[in-house]
Amino acid sequence: MDKFDQIIKQAKTTIQPNSNFVSRTMNRIDHEEEKSRIRFRFWLPVGVGAFAAVLIALVLVAPFSSKPSNKANLYASNSNSSASSGTSPALGSPPKNVPATIPAGDSNANLTSDINSISASINEQNYDQNGVNTGLNDMAYEVSIPTYQNQ
Amino acid sequence: MDQNDEAALVGKVLDGDVGGYRYFIERYHKGLIQHIYNIVGDEATAEDVAQEAFIRAYDNLSKYNPEYAFSTWLYKIASNIALRFLKQNSRFVPLNEDSVLNADKAPPPDEKLDAQLTKETVVTAIDKLPTKYRFVITMYYWDDLSLKEISEALGSPEGTIKTWLFRAKKILRKELYGQV
């Protein structure tokens, strides 16, 4: 260490910290700790309550939500398909512009037979070997509508 | 208490023994306050920054890496807070590093001039140093930290710290012997 190093070293001002610094800092830490505990105690029940409320709401709404909305969509699509022809058939009735029979060689004939076979297959799958409904009725319902339109 | 014991105590504090943290405050507060005072130059501010550093260290205790000394980690936190404080409340416009370093060679030490240098003159010159140099000078000469400890606290390689120290001294020489 040369002379210049000594000059820098000697320029140090030593200070004496406040005697209550340690207890003051510990108090602040305790205070912060207590605040976070209170926050936790407050937000935990609120969080759990909110989660439970959402869960209950979902359970209550679920049984009513699936079928009616599917029906509504199907009827909506039915009326949309007739909208282009300017007709407005009653809900659930076949659109007026659908031909009674499908012309031979029409590509729609293949489509109709495909739909019929899918529908039949789904209807078969609706019941297991013990005759219990396996819950595929909704699908069968959805697929059977276009079949009905083309007949 | 050595580094391993301190790491074990950190574990206890993390497990809920809040009172165990008092040991760290009692052991390190004097050195830490002095370190911050050397940087910011104000006693009350130094205590505030030190308190903030202890609280921040407590809040982030789970991030403490026992491979390093607790004091090094604490100094790093405190240095960051002090640095932020300096950016907001700088007392001096720092010297332009390039202009000083590129100037003529610093005058050689002169015993007559050395005798005229007052403590205030030296402190003022240190205060005018660019922040990183001020950190290095105060940590090395006033906090008696080794280059390795400074490098860990500031998160820069030891070689860089050595260069900063060399440049800081060069700027100080120029400033002090040029103005006496």
Those of residues 27-46 in A touching chain B at CB distance below 8 A are 28-30, 32-33
CB contact under 8 A, A8 and B172: yes
Kindly identify which residue of chain A lies nearest to residue B23, measuring between CA atoms: A22
> What confidence tens digit (pLDDT) does each residue in B32-79 have?
999 999 888 889 999 999 999 999 999 999 999 888 889 989 999 998
Do residues B74 and A45 touch, judged by C-beta distance below 8 A? Answer: no
Contacts of A1 in chain B (CB under 8 A): none
Domains annotated on chain B, with CATH: 3-88 (1.10.1740.10), 97-179 (1.10.10.10)
- Quick check: A13 contacting B, CB < 8 Å? yes
Contacts of A33 in chain B (CB under 8 A): 18
CB contact under 8 A, A32 and B59: yes
CB contact under 8 A, B169 and A4: yes
Q: In the Cβ-directed half-sphere of A81, how many Cα atoms lie within 13 Å?
A: 18
- Quick check: A93 contacting B, CB < 8 Å? no
Distance from CA of A56 to the nearest CA of B (A): 36
Query: Confidence class of residue B3 from pLDDT cuts 50, 70 and 90?
Result: confident
- Which of A120 and A58 is assigned the larger pLDDT? A58
The chain-wide mean pLDDT, for chain A, equals 69
Minimum-distance CB partner of B29 among A4, A13, A21: A21
Distance from CA of B123 to the nearest CA of A (A): 6
Mean pLDDT lowest for which of A32-36, A98-102, B68-72, B73-77?
Answer: A98-102
The chain-wide mean pLDDT, for chain B, equals 85
Q: Is the pLDDT of residue A83 over 50?
A: no
Which pLDDT belongs to residue B180? 47
Region A36-55: what's the mean pLDDT? 84
HEC per residue, chain B = CCHHHHHHHHHHHHCCCHHHHHHHHHHHHHHHHHHHHHHHCCHHHHHHHHHHHHHHHHHCHHHCCCCCCHHHHHHHHHHHHHHHHHHHCCCCCCCCHHHHHCCCCCCCCCHHHHHHCCHHHHHHHHHCCCHHHHHHHHHHHHCCCCHHHHHHHHCCCHHHHHHHHHHHHHHHHHHHHHHC
Distance from CA of A143 to the nearest CA of B (A): 58
Which pLDDT belongs to residue B88? 80
Whole-number percent of chain B with pLDDT over 90: 47
Region A31-55: what's the mean pLDDT? 84
Region A15-38: what's the mean pLDDT? 88
Contacts of A21 in chain B (CB under 8 A): 25, 29, 33, 47, 50-51
Minimum-distance CB partner of A14 among B34, B50, B176: B34
Region A48-76: what's the mean pLDDT? 74
Distance from CA of A25 to the nearest CA of B (A): 6
SS3 content of chain A, % helix, strand, coil (to 5): 70, 0, 30
Which pLDDT belongs to residue B118? 82
Distance from CA of B43 to the nearest CA of A (A): 7
CB contact under 8 A, A21 and B18: no
Contacts of B137 in chain A (CB under 8 A): 8
> What value of ipTM does the predicted structure carry?
0.75
